[in-house]
Structure 1
């Protein structure tokens, strides 16, 4: 199973915001883009979607940015992944509309892969955003090191 780049970036935005939850100023898209080396325009679309889903509060203009709308401990990773991924069909026989496999009626692979997908999602369901960020004492250092990685522009 492989997550799309969209989901990867979505999780990075949420984790960065969770790691910066205690600071006074909100997180900016430019800050996240520089920290991760991701396109600012791509992140803008992701942030808009996260705001529409009620996960981020965004403010435009000078002094604006984004913050989590609820505590990181209340944001379930499995739910986030389900909302960003469009296809959990591991093989074509998972989709009755597109299944051309002639073995479907006598094959144990579909059931096995179905169980594997459910186990995968169950692991994600057991984790919150808070579980993915460093403890409070280590958060500032983690964000600082992310923001000032060699080769990336230093944020203002």
Structure 2
């Protein structure tokens, strides 16, 4: 299993925002600087996270972003399902483009499908709060000498 960079960045944004107080706003630029990743990528990620209801975006002067819900209410399995664009581990998972001649009798598809469900089930057992137990250490790494909004 491998997550896309989009999902990776989505999870990182949520962790970053989870280290802050819910009332405090952060900027995309600050998150970009903290992780050393493209601001343009993060703009797309934060826009989608806002549409999905995970974060709140405040426009205008003094605006920014923050979590829209408590960290314990953000299920990691659901975030992954919402941010991954496909779970086609192998060609036969996509009925539209499958040309594999052994698909009708292949046992691999079933095994990989069970593995995928097990993978997601494990992630369903976690919330964002589970990844914030070392909040102070995370904050020290993320906000090292940097000031946020």
> Under a length normalisation based on structure 2, what TM-score does the superposition of the two structures give?
0.90
Alignment gaps of 5+ in structure 1? 149-153
- Equivalent position of 2:138 in the other structure: 142
Deviation of 1:58 (Å):
1.3
- Equivalent position of 2:10 in the other structure: 10
Alignment gaps of 5+ in structure 2? none
Preserved CA contact (<8 Å) 2:15 2:128: yes
| 2:83 matches 1:84 | yes
Deviation of 1:103 (Å):
1.3
- Equivalent position of 2:114 in the other structure: 115
Preserved CA contact (<8 Å) 1:20 1:140: no
CA deviation profile, 1:40-85 (whole Å, cap 9, x unmatched): 1221121111111111111123332111111110111111111111
Equivalent residue of 1:26, what SS? Answer: coil
Please give the alpha-carbon distance, in whole angstroms, between the structure 1 residues aligned to 2:78 and 2:39: 25
Candidates 128, 139, 146, aligned match of 1:155: 146
State how many pairs are aligned.
147
Please give the alpha-carbon distance, in whole angstroms, between the structure 2 residues aligned to 1:37 and 1:78: 25
Please give the alpha-carbon distance, in whole angstroms, between the structure 2 residues aligned to 1:52 and 1:96: 29
Please give the alpha-carbon distance, in whole angstroms, between the structure 2 residues aligned to 1:155 and 1:84: 28
- Equivalent position of 1:96 in the other structure: 95
Please give the alpha-carbon distance, in whole angstroms, between the structure 1 residues aligned to 2:38 and 2:94: 33
Equivalent residue of 1:11, what SS? Answer: helix
